[in-house]
Structure formats: C-alpha cells, structure tokens
Amino acid sequence: MGKFERKFGRYAIKNLSMILIICYAIGYLIYLIYPEFLNNLTLNPYLIVHGQVWRIISWILVPPTLGFDFFTLIMLFFYFSIGRTLERTWGDYLFNVYVLSGILFTIVASFGVYIFTVLVPPVSNEYYMLGGMNLFMQYVSLMYSTYYINMSIFLAFALTFPDSMVLLMFIFPVKMKWLGYIDGAYMIYLFIVSNVYTKVAIAAALLNFIIFFAITRRRRFGSPRQRMQRAARSREFRNTVRREAPQKGVSKHKCAICGRTEITNPELQFRFCSKCNGNYEYCNEHLFNHKHVE
C-alpha cells in the first residue's frame, strides 16, 4: 500500500462499476424518453465557462453508444462484470484512480481543445462558420463520452487477466489477451481515421491505460538494470547446470582439484604431475599450485 493510498484510500468510492452502470442506465432512459435532452448534458467547455457547470459531471450520463436493445444489456452486464472483477482484484482505491483519471484526462483534454480553438479559430470549419464558437463546441462535445474510457477498462482487464476465457457470441471460447489485441488494434484504427478532435478524445481516455501499462510493466519486469542483472544470473545458472549435468560419453581427462573435464571445459589443458605419488591429473589452472600427494 502506497502513501497516497494510506492517506486517501478511505475516500475511495465503493462499487464504482455499479455506479457507472446506473449512470448509463439513466442516460439510456433519457435517450428513450427525450433524446434531445442529452444535448444539455454533454461535455461542452464553452457552455461550462458560461455558467452550465453541471456539464463537468453530467456528460458521464451520456450513453457510450446510442440505441438500446438486447445487445446493449449484454454490453452493460459485461462491463459491470469486468469492472467488478477489477475492483475486487485491485481494490477500490486503485480502481477509482484508474477510472477517475480517465474521466479527468478527458475533461482536461476538452478544455485544452477549447482554449486552442479560442487562440486559433477554425474559420474553415462548417460548424464554426454557421454558428460560431457555440455551435462548433457543441459539435466537438459529441466526441467526448465514456465509450473510450470503457475501452480502457477492457484493456486493463485483458492485461490483468490475459488467460481468462470468455465465450465470444456465447459459443467460441477466446482468451482475453486476444480480445485485448483486437480492441487495441481497433482503437488504433479509430485514432488513425478519425478527425483531430476524436483523436484527442481517444488519447485522453486511454492515457490512464498507458500509465497503468508502464507501471505494471516495470513491476513485472523491473527496471532495465534489474532485467540485465536477472539475465546475467540466468546465464550463470545455465552454465552451472551445464557443467554439473551428466555428460554424454566418458571423459579422458579430469582435474583432481576442481573435477573439470575436457567435455565440460574444452578450453582447458590437462597434465599429469610427476611429483605426485600416483596418477593424478590436473588442469592447467591447478597444475602448478596444488599440494603434491606423497
């Protein structure tokens, strides 16, 4: 447990994955009853600085995908199950940090786009030409939702449980790591083909996963220096095992001091000592510095 967790862990939100699913359920209910009302909930920095401060939080209610059917229920249940599993595995604090950092990065990115737009107006954009900054930021705000944050949660689950199995289409068993590769490739594809505002939204939502991947990689594999030390110890262990392992065939020469033979150490030379009483053979490292046998 780190010092930040000891200090702030008691403030972690319990059952955060359930709260997210409830937010999505409310968003889908609004979409079914009064879909136009969702425009009052989006993450629009222009309207936030003009008094609609609730948008800093209310955009979480906007469903990840529009449209509600049976597969939407399956998707909500799936994200709840993987989120709940990560909560139990990581603990409430770490899961809170992961999800809330993705939300925070998205908010900061939206304001970054707004500030850049104020400094460099997109005069060639059709929305900006038709309605100025207000209409343009309404258009950009549609890019920000929890869809990419959910993707980052899925990637974190695939990284944490790479060998766990899921039934694709309820039939085909597939390991999570392969679904993670597909999901990551799909996100890269979206990043390449989308406009610059969607690129910012994707990068902001996945920044938490990039940080998480870097931290877990260091914990699993260590620093470059630690990896080099482990590799050196591994080579030394293999060489020791190779020297001590039973050799094929019978050796002709064996040092009476260290026990090495021409098979285990072909680079050595072996000689008999004329001063020893008996047939004692030594390698070139011990031939002149051994105690003679009388």
pLDDT in tens, 129-158: 777 787 888 888 888 888 888 888 888 888
The reported pLDDT for the residue numbered 270 is: 82
CA distance 293 to 70: 89
DSSP labels, 159-200: HHSTT-EEEETTTEEEEHHHHHHHHHHHHHHHHHHS-HHHHH
Q: Where are the domains of the chain?
A: 7-221, 226-283
| 272 Cα distance to chain centroid | 62
Closest C-alpha among 225, 233, 211, 249 to residue 105: 211
CA distance 98 to 93: 9
CA distance 215 to 223: 11
The reported pLDDT for the residue numbered 54 is: 92
Pick out the chain residues at pLDDT < 50: 1, 220-224, 227
Contacts of 87 (CB under 8 A, 6+ apart): 15, 16, 17, 95
pLDDT in tens, 10-50: 777 888 888 888 888 888 888 888 888 888 888 888 899 98
State the amino acid at position 55 in one-letter form. Answer: R
CA distance 196 to 55: 22
CA distance 272 to 266: 17
